[in-house]
């Protein structure tokens, strides 16, 4: 059991260095997204559960699975106005069609992007695919770059 | 100097393909590892246009300056960059089957200080070749659909 906790602690240190320390050292925003982001949240809440209450293990799994399957991003360090601006620029750069919807855009008639401001420069960005489109995936990637180019 | 090259046929008029590709403003949209081109001066694309670039190679941030040294619309554009990586990017455009054949030839060498940070030169070369191919695939996706 101790071995598992040591392994988890090492994992969380490595992921923290990669996901938090590295971007912060360059004064760039923090991204929690994809498999590594979901796994990081899962382990983080899991470690908290170890110290607080075992029932929180369930919360750890829910948070991790939710982040992964809803294809969401958590971004720290950029205002929601700048995130909106980055998305508008990404749409322009990829020459994709877009339609403004509440809190975001629907791009290439295939993917909706919703941006929720959680305050203190933390934004929750959620993607929903209607159908797969190479162009909307590319727009998403350009959007990530543009957000990451901001300084904290 | 190491090399990477790729080509693709884009079903759009040569002038449109040239204008989009040769403008440093659009570089980070279709070049996968290019994080940004900034401080682009003057705004109008052409010979003498300069900009700062930031490229991510195998997780290492490389930076430098670049200049458009050839701008022969709509046939050829050449960008020469210096900094953590000295490179020459040549885009050639040719009308083909009612569309445009775009060829990209990149010659590059990475500065000693940056090379030390990179794990394996061979892996970097493979990544750059893949990046050149992906750049043109992205260009096709952006311009055709």
A55 and A80 inside one domain: no
Q: Which residue of B32, B38, B142 to mutate against A (max A Cβ within 10 Å)?
A: B142
A54, A104: one domain: no
CATH of the domain at A116: 3.30.310
Reduced to 3 states, what is the DSSP secondary structure of residue B51? Answer: strand
List, in order, residues 6 or more apart from A147 with CB less than 8 Å away. Answer: A29, A31, A75, A78, A82, A83, A86
Same domain, A58 and A94: no
Same domain, A80 and A60: no
Q: Report residue A78's pLDDT band, with 50, 70 and 90 as the boundaries.
A: very high
Q: Are A65 and A121 members of one domain? A: no
List CB contacts of A4: < 8 A, sequence separation 6 or more: none
Q: Which chain B residues have a beta carbon less than 8 Å from that of A134?
A: 141, 145
Last residue of a domain, one of A29, A49, A69: A69
Residue B94 has pLDDT above 90, yes or no: yes
- How confident is the model over B102-115, as a mean pLDDT? 82
CA atoms of B132 and B88, how far apart (whole Å) = 13
Give the per-residue pLDDT at B116: 60
pLDDT for the residue B137? 97
Is there a single domain that holds both residue A56 and residue A102?
A: no
Task: Kindly report, residue by residue over A91-121, the tens digit of the pLDDT.
Answer: 999 999 999 888 889 999 999 999 999 988 8
Residue pair B142/A135 in contact by the 8 Å Cβ criterion: yes
State which of A69, A91, A117 marks the end of a domain: A69
**Is the domain of A86 the same as that of A140?**
yes
Flag whether pLDDT at B118 surpasses 70: no
CB-based contact B28 A26, cutoff 8 Å: no
Q: Does residue A85 share a domain with residue A56?
A: no
Task: Give the global pTM.
Answer: 0.88
Give residue A4's pLDDT.
81
Pair (A62, A82) in one structural domain: no
DSSP reduced 3-state for B19: helix
In the listed set A41, A69, A97, which residue is the last one of a domain according to the structure? A69
Backbone angles phi, psi at B69, to 5 degrees: -105, -20
CA distance A97 to chain B (A): 10
What is the C-alpha R_g of chain B?
15
* A140: nearest CA partner in chain B: B29
A22: region left, alpha or beta (phi > 0 left; psi from -120 to 50 alpha): alpha
Q: Which residue has the higher pLDDT, B121 or B50?
A: B50
Instruction: Judge if A87 and A52 occupy the same domain.
Output: no
Domain count, chain A: 2
- Tell me, what's the pLDDT at A65? 85
Which helix (H) or strand (E) segment holds residue B100: the answer is: strand B99-110
What is the pLDDT at residue B93?
A: 97
Of B26, B28, B145, the CB nearest to A135: B145
Tens-place pLDDT, residues B66-82: 999 999 999 999 999 99
Range of the domain at A16: 2-69
Residue B119 has pLDDT above 60, yes or no: no
Do both A61 and A81 map to the same domain?
A: no
Strand, helix or coil for residue A41: helix
What is the ipTM metric for this complex?
Answer: 0.89
Is A26 in the same domain as A62?
A: yes
All structural domains of chain B: 2-144 (3.30.530.20)
């Amino acid at each position: 059991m101790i071995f598992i906790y040591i392994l988890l602690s090492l994992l969380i240190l490595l992921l923290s260095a990669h996901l938090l320390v590295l971007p912060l050292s360059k004064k760039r925003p923090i991204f929690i997204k994809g498999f590594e982001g979901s796994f990081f949240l899962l382990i983080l809440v899991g470690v908290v559960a170890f110290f607080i209450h075992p029932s929180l293990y369930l919360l750890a799994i829910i948070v991790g699975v939710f982040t992964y399957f809803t294809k969401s991003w958590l971004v720290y360090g950029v205002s929601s106005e700048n995130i909106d601006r980055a998305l508008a620029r990404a749409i322009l750069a990829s020459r994709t069609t877009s339609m403004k919807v509440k809190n975001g855009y629907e791009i290439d008639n295939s993917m909706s992007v919703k941006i929720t401001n959680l305050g203190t420069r933390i934004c929750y960005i959620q993607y929903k695919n209607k159908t797969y489109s190479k162009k909307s995936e590319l727009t998403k990637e350009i959007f990530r770059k543009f957000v990451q180019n901001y300084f904290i | 100097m190491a090399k990477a090259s790729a080509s693709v046929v884009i079903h759009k008029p040569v002038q449109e393909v040239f204008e989009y590709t040769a403008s440093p403003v659009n570089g980070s949209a279709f070049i996968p590892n290019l994080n940004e081109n900034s401080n682009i001066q003057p705004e109008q694309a052409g010979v003498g246009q300069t900009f700062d670039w930031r490229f991510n190679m195998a997780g290492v941030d490389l930076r430098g300056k670049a200049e458009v040294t050839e701008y022969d619309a709509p046939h050829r554009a050449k960008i020469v960059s210096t900094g953590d990586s000295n490179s020459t990017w040549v885009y050639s455009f040719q009308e083909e089957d009612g569309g445009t054949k775009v060829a990209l030839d990149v010659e590059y060498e990475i500065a000693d200080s940056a090379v030390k940070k990179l794990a394996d030169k061979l892996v970097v070369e493979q990544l750059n070749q893949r990046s050149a191919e992906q750049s043109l695939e992205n260009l096709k996706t952006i311009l055709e659909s």
